[in-house]
Amino acid sequence: MERLWAPWRMEYITEPKQPECIFCREGDDRQLLILHRTGLVMVMLNRYPYVNGHVMVAPVRHTSDLDTLSDEEMVALFRGVAFCRRVLAEAGNPDGFNIGVNLGKAAGAGVEEHLHIHVVPRWNGDNNFMSVVAGTRVVPEALLVTYDRLLPFFQAGDRR
């Protein structure tokens, strides 16, 4: 039997599950992986990314229903997606992006209770044999290292 060592996963296994929504928690932005906020939307690194730089854009208001977003929230949400794409393009020079919404558990939503849009930078060859053979993703950079690397790009993007 082959072994895949991932000691950082122990924190996920043993940490108490939080009853509150991950997008509604308050605290230190770095610990919460929040890279950017406006009055209507927020950008957060995905704690379980497909690749480095996988972020989620969510309305600040807690809702799971796309139809309940105001026109202002809808525009802010998609402007947030475009902002993330620009920032991630500058920060990592990816070859493309996956951008998507999973509505409901059957559609793959890991957090059903709060609407969010995934922005995933992609590079040619970033998906190696591990995903196919072992059902495992290889993410070569620690989350807080990614956070610290991306934060200045998000802050600079705010000033543009």
Confirm if 91 and 153 have CB atoms less than 8 A apart: yes
Burial class (CB in 10 A: 0-12, 13-18, 19+), 129: exposed
- Phi, psi (rounded to 5 degrees) for 123: -120, 145
C-alpha distances in Å from residue 7, one per residue of 10, 67, 109, 158 = 6, 41, 26, 36
Q: What pairing do the DSSP bridges indicate for beta strands 34-37 and 96-100? A: unpaired
d(CA 65, CA 14): 31
Task: Scan for tokens 């990314």, then name that residue.
Answer: 49
Active-site residues, by number, are 116
The DSSP secondary-structure symbol of 49 reads -
